[in-house]
Amino acid sequence: MLHTQTDNERDTWARTIAMLVLGLACYALPWPVLAQLPGPAATEAVLRVQGSNTIGAKLGPALAKGLLEQQGLRDITVSPSAENEQQVVGHAPDGRVIRISLAAHGSGTGFTALQDGSAELAASSRPIKGAEAQSLEAYGDLRSRSAEQIIAIDGLAIIVHPDNPLQSLNIEQLAALFAGEISDWRQLGGQPGAVHLYARDDNSGTWDTFKELVLGRQGKTLSSSARRFESSDQLSDSVSQDPLGIGFIGLPYIRESKALAIADGESLPMLPSRELIATEDYPLSRRLFFYLKPAETNEWARALVSFAQSAPGQAIVAQSGFIAQTVQATTVQTTSEMPEAYRVLGLQAKRLTVNLRFREGSATLDNKAHYDIARISEYLKRNDKLYRKVVLVGFGDPKPDPERASLLSKLRAVVVSQALRSEGLIPREVVGFGDELPVAANSADEGRKKNQRVEVWVY
């Protein structure tokens, strides 16, 4: 189904570009040198983090520990306090005991905790829902750049037993499997045997993401035969021991299982590689978030967000098995399916491991892209790539008029060009490829949004 435009779409882009030319917003990352932060009132935690098990199991505690180390604390310990709950405790030179508590019972619990005041920071492995944002609107816009912080990229891996001969699935097949409509492996060309389904629990952001990207888009619901897990590790280990099992899990939790390649719409099957997840091209890639109230006064909450976005924080993201938002240049293997001009670019230049995307239905860069502009700029300056060494390549979704699709894809690249020009960039070329090389199905809003992207290539 084609996505049609309003008559004002061209005017919207023109106004956006004019605003960018007149003066761009500051893209500096919030990485201040932190002053000494306050200690606890008594034995209370200085910061309470609630939400995603994907974040809370390893990444959240590791970031909290890194922050305490940055603050000069010593004898830092990370220890469980209850099931899926941990305490990070450090000792200051003046004798203060600093404690950060993290509870990981699912993304939805984080927004509930923000609302009832039992946490200052929500960890989520999916974007805040409309109803959640509405319930918190008294505290400000939870979708604003100050409230919504993307701290890492993850990919949902579809895992099977290592001996399963299956190599790839498309989204339609995956949805049919988890809905119970494909119930025997021989229906997919595998060895005969009943399919055993493994899924995360209802509080999990991993489940929310799978439900939205796979089941919801196909109008299906999870089979009642699926075994549900609160723990990512337990789910993965169970699949790796079951020759008939299939499950979905965050990238760091593949462990001993085998990951399958996934195709969406007209895209080629893609394995959950770090490069394809970093660019968010992999069909089941997702962002990991910290959310805080825009007017949050807890200094530790703001400090942890800033630390997570910093270079040391992103190093911890990578060490924890997720995809850091660092910028690197990679070689792209060209194929015959690519447009000729794109193949030439792939042979002569390298692609940066970041795609810039936009707010839905808007010519405005999304929250992640604002931070990525600063990261890209720093990379280009460090590697002497600012002057005529960069090609910006725009893509989009289908339009009734192919020339319109090509124009809009180029205009997206122009928006990024203007943002980077404020950092001193003189691009070599700005081009648009219209609706070619989709990375997601255009039959849903989420897929069209993923296809509306800008790639950055360097010579």
Give the model confidence (pLDDT) of 351-360 as tens digits: 999 999 999 8
CB atoms within 10 A of CB 192: 9
- pLDDT at 3 (0 to 100): 42
Backbone dihedral angles phi then psi of residue 418, each to the nearest 5 degrees: -65, -40
pLDDT score of 43 = 61
With tokens 């990951």, the residue in question is 259
Assess whether pLDDT exceeds 90 at residue 34.
no
**What confidence category does residue 362 fall into, taking pLDDT thresholds of 50, 70 and 90?**
confident
Q: For residue 322, which of 308, 336, 333 has the smallest C-alpha distance?
A: 308
pLDDT at 300 over 60: yes
| Alpha-carbon gap, residue 168 to 328, rounded angstroms | 28
With residue 382 as reference, give the H or E element that holds it: helix 367-382
Judge whether residue 18 has pLDDT over 60. Answer: no
What are the residues whose beta carbons fall under 8 Å from the beta carbon of 355, sequence distance 6 or more? Answer: 279, 280, 281, 453, 454, 455
More confident residue, 347 or 444: 347
pLDDT band at 40 (very low <50, low <70, confident <90, very high): low
**Cβ-count burial of 149 within 10 angstroms (0-12 exposed, 13-18 middle, 19+ buried)?**
buried
pLDDT at 2: 36
The arithmetic mean of pLDDT across residues 399-406, rounded, is 93
* Closest among 252, 263, 458, 423 to 353, alpha carbons compared: 458
Comparing C-alpha atoms, which of 394, 390, 399, 407 is closest to residue 437?
A: 394
Cα–Cα dist 157/154, whole Å: 9
Average pLDDT, the chain: 90
Asked if pLDDT for residue 59 goes beyond 60, the answer is yes
**Average pLDDT estimate for 311-325:** 94
Torsion of CA 162, 168, 172, 174, to 10 degrees: 10
Note the pLDDT of residue 36. 64
So what's the pLDDT on residue 25?
40
20 pLDDT above the threshold of 70: no
Residues 6+ apart with CB under 8 A from 384: none
| pLDDT tens figures, 61-97 | 999 999 999 999 999 999 999 999 999 999 999 889 9
pLDDT in tens, 253-264: 999 999 999 999
| pLDDT number for residue 447 | 85
Domains in the chain, start-ordered, CATH in brackets?
A: 9-27+327-458 (3.30.1330.60), 47-152+286-319 (3.40.190.10), 154-278 (3.40.190.10)
Query: Which pLDDT score, from 0 to 100, does residue 17 have?
Result: 45
Q: Which amino acid makes up residue 388?
A: R
273's torsion region: left (phi>0), alpha (psi -120 to 50) or beta? beta
pLDDT of residue 16: 47
Q: Is the pLDDT reported for residue 1 higher than 50?
A: no
What is the strand order of the sheet 453-458 is part of? 329-330, 350-357, 453-458, 390-394, 429-432
C-alpha dist (Å) from residue 424 to 42, 135, 279: 50, 42, 24
pLDDT digits (tens, 9 = 90+) for 95-141: 899 999 999 999 999 999 999 999 999 999 999 999 999 999 999 99
For 152-194, write each residue's pLDDT tens digit: 998 899 999 999 999 999 999 999 999 999 999 999 988 899 9
| CA distances from residue 347 to 341, 353, 378, 402, 415 in whole angstroms, order as listed | 10, 17, 25, 26, 26
Output the pLDDT for position 203: 84
Listed in order, strand segments (DSSP E) in 216-344 are 227-229, 245-250, 258-259, 261-263, 285-291, 329-330
